[in-house]
Structure 1
Amino acid sequence: MNYLKLIRYQNLLLLAFMQLIFRYGFLKFQNIPLALNHFQYGLLVLSTVLIAAAGYVINDILDQETDYDNRPDTIIVGKRISEKAAYNLYFVLNIVGVGIGFYLSNIIQRPSFTGAFIILSATLYMYATSLKQMLLIGNIIVALLLSFSVLIIGLFDLLPATYEGNRAEMGIMFSMLIDYAVFAFVLNLIREIVKDMQDVEGDYNQGMSTLPISIGNKNTSKVVFSLGIIATLILLWYINTYLMEHRLYYAVIYGLIFIVSPMIFFLVKIWNANSKEEFHLLSKVLKWIIFFGILSVLVITLNIKYNVK
């Protein structure tokens, strides 16, 4: 169980769920060819999950002192698992993850795509060692990596199956993936800043430069509130433009209840939040919004397919 906690298995399950939903809850419902078979797509999900798990491991290894300040009761490396064992796990996860990526890149006859997995692995290492200590850079990197997990579906499953005759249709599919990647980026960026607000004391003791340390939690709350307002307005615009106009009423109701309403709750609470418990709660709210946002692609697909209006 300690190893499962070390690799943040809940987050990895969410990542795998997201990639499976986009494939089997969206792309498979479209009348388009896909480059990967079921086994190969499973390997793509596995590769992404393994590299992400390696990122969590190296982050815990290098973050031991900060964790002693921020969350001493949840420390694993150096307390429940030795640092040597954690390093061994990190190398194994990375080697297997990148190795699978190399195999898949050759399967789709795009060997250069192996670089995507290498860059992902290297970026997670750089984040753990230096980038997360830079103002907002670490937050942006983590948010981008989640978005990349959406876009990689298009790179491996759509792009190799694209030809002149279906280029326009494939472009629409890819644009939808980009929309969700942007959605994931914005919400995860907000969540990373909220987590920094929760960990401000330990991060300050370790000499890190986060937004809450630079401008204080009160001012950071206002920044997060503004970002949340922008995200909510974009969501409402998207629902009105793409769902209401096509009379996808079930999808509209779903979006308002499970995505917009929690965002409004978040906005109300973040304005005056000032304790670790409140920031922890709001971080979890954002995680659920991301989950329901991912699930919305299936709701929209089914609403269109069965013409439920």
Structure 2
Amino acid sequence: MGKLKKVKAFIRLVRIEHAFFLAIAVAVGAIIAAKANPAVDFSIFDTEGNMLYVLYLLFIAMLSPFFIEMASFAINDYWDIETDKANKRKDRPLVTGELKKETALATAMLFFPLGIVLAFFTNITAFLLVLLFVVLSFYYSYEWKKKPVIGNIVIAASMAVPFIFGNVVIYNKIQLPVVILASMAFLMGLGREIFKSIQDIAGDKKQGRKTLPILIGKKNSAYIGSFLILLAVLISFYPLFFIEDYFGDIYYFSFVLITDILLVASVDSALKLKDFAAIREHTLKAQLTGLLAFLFGVLF
């Protein structure tokens, strides 16, 4: 196999687009916190707790979850190869043989420590948060993803925590917009993971797993996932009316409207039990536009 094909296979292994999303999520949480932190002076660039130091913290804080996310996907594929084969996941490079299992394991063993070390240079709260999620990632990939709901909750939490992480790196007081954004990410992530469990039901049955769709059926699972995502849509309107930085903000409204349309489209597909590839695409785009909504809302 050529080097370019191996690089592309590696990018698919670590789902690098998710790593970028998490890095951006950290930045959004950090920027919201920096605006609220009276110790941060955006007009000064030296090393006394102001903007230059904030930029340094932001840089290493974005890299930490970036590497941990890639490690998490690598170890997940390492332990999940038989289920992926049963589900005929041709998008998985370990299934297609483009990469060896040892490559996935080595990736995880390299990137997990790297992410942890980077978090060490932020503060103790952020560092402990990273350690917790490394442990959860291992348990999820090895055992919890076989359980109903708990594995879905861990993945959804991994989508929400980067906002909190970015906040606590810069400011020890967690800001309301960060809580709302993290809540939306959690609900959207949990709904999406339930939809993914519906897609993977055949392989999960062969592996003896007890996922939610296996226990209560595809349709009932689709209802639960849809409810969670629609709840995230409902919460998205809160800042427009109740948070000063976002009150009537046209930038926030424009991006969040796109986000909500994408989420409603994913719900429509899920309830029809079809086109799960489109659901993944819609939710990924919704993550990006949701991030932009909060970022532009707080900056402009």
- After TM superposition, the score normalised by the length of structure 2 is 0.84
Q: Which of 170, 180, 185 is residue 157 of structure 1 equivalent to?
A: 170
Q: How far did residue 268 of structure 1 move? A: 3.0
1:126 and 2:139 equivalent? Answer: yes
Distance of aligned partners of 1:199 and 1:174 in 2 relative to their CA distance in 1, 3 Å threshold = same
1:14 and 2:21 equivalent? Answer: yes
Report the counterpart of residue 130 of structure 2 in structure 1. Answer: 117
For 2:102, the aligned partner's letter is K
Report the counterpart of residue 174 of structure 1 in structure 2. Answer: 175
Distance of aligned partners of 1:260 and 1:84 in 2 relative to their CA distance in 1, 3 Å threshold = closer
Q: How far did residue 46 of structure 1 move? A: 0.9
1:58 and 2:71 equivalent? Answer: no
Q: How far did residue 244 of structure 1 move? A: 11
Report the counterpart of residue 101 of structure 1 in structure 2. Answer: 119
Deviations 1:208-261 (A, max 9, x none): 1111111111221222232233333333444344489933244334422x1222
2:213–2:221 CA contact under 8 A, matched in 1: yes
Q: How far did residue 75 of structure 1 move? A: 2.9
Structure 2 stretches lacking a partner, 5+ long? 1-6, 41-48
Aligned equivalents of 1:233, 1:57: Cα separation in 2: 34
How do 1:278-289 and structure 2 match up within 5 A? 278-289=275-286
Q: Larger deviation: 240-249 or 124-133? A: 240-249
Structure 1 stretches lacking a partner, 5+ long? 160-170, 304-309
Report the counterpart of residue 100 of structure 2 in structure 1. Answer: 82
1:60–1:77 CA contact under 8 A, matched in 2: yes
Report the counterpart of residue 235 of structure 2 in structure 1. Answer: 234
1:243–1:252 CA contact under 8 A, matched in 2: no
2:144–2:150 CA contact under 8 A, matched in 1: yes
Q: How far did residue 206 of structure 1 move? A: 0.9
Q: How far did residue 113 of structure 1 move? A: 4.9
Aligned equivalents of 2:12, 2:246: Cα separation in 1: 44
Aligned equivalents of 1:149, 1:67: Cα separation in 2: 27
1:198–1:280 CA contact under 8 A, matched in 2: no
1:270 and 2:270 equivalent? Answer: yes
How do 1:184-195 and structure 2 match up within 5 A? 184-195=185-196
2:177–2:239 CA contact under 8 A, matched in 1: no
Report the counterpart of residue 33 of structure 1 in structure 2. Answer: 39
1:67 and 2:72 equivalent? Answer: no
Deviations 1:24-74 (A, max 9, x none): 5x4555573345432332111111111111111110000000111223422
Deviations 1:162-192 (A, max 9, x none): xxxxxxxxx4x62221111111100011111
Q: How far did residue 195 of structure 1 move? A: 0.9
Aligned equivalents of 1:222, 1:177: Cα separation in 2: 27
Distance of aligned partners of 1:148 and 1:229 in 2 relative to their CA distance in 1, 3 Å threshold = closer
1:22–1:297 CA contact under 8 A, matched in 2: no
Report the counterpart of residue 66 of structure 2 in structure 1. Answer: 49
Report the counterpart of residue 307 of structure 1 in structure 2. Answer: none
Distance of aligned partners of 1:23 and 1:283 in 2 relative to their CA distance in 1, 3 Å threshold = same
Distance of aligned partners of 1:104 and 1:31 in 2 relative to their CA distance in 1, 3 Å threshold = closer
2:26–2:167 CA contact under 8 A, matched in 1: no
For 1:262, the aligned partner's letter is L
SS of 1:73's equivalent in the other structure is coil
Q: How far did residue 137 of structure 1 move? A: 0.2
For 2:118, the aligned partner's letter is I
- After TM superposition, the score normalised by the length of structure 1 is 0.82
Aligned equivalents of 2:75, 2:183: Cα separation in 1: 26
Sequence identity (%): 21
Report the counterpart of residue 43 of structure 2 in structure 1. Answer: none
Distance of aligned partners of 1:230 and 1:116 in 2 relative to their CA distance in 1, 3 Å threshold = closer
Distance of aligned partners of 1:6 and 1:156 in 2 relative to their CA distance in 1, 3 Å threshold = same
1:243–1:251 CA contact under 8 A, matched in 2: no
For 1:48, the aligned partner's letter is P
Report the counterpart of residue 215 of structure 2 in structure 1. Answer: 214
1:139–1:189 CA contact under 8 A, matched in 2: yes
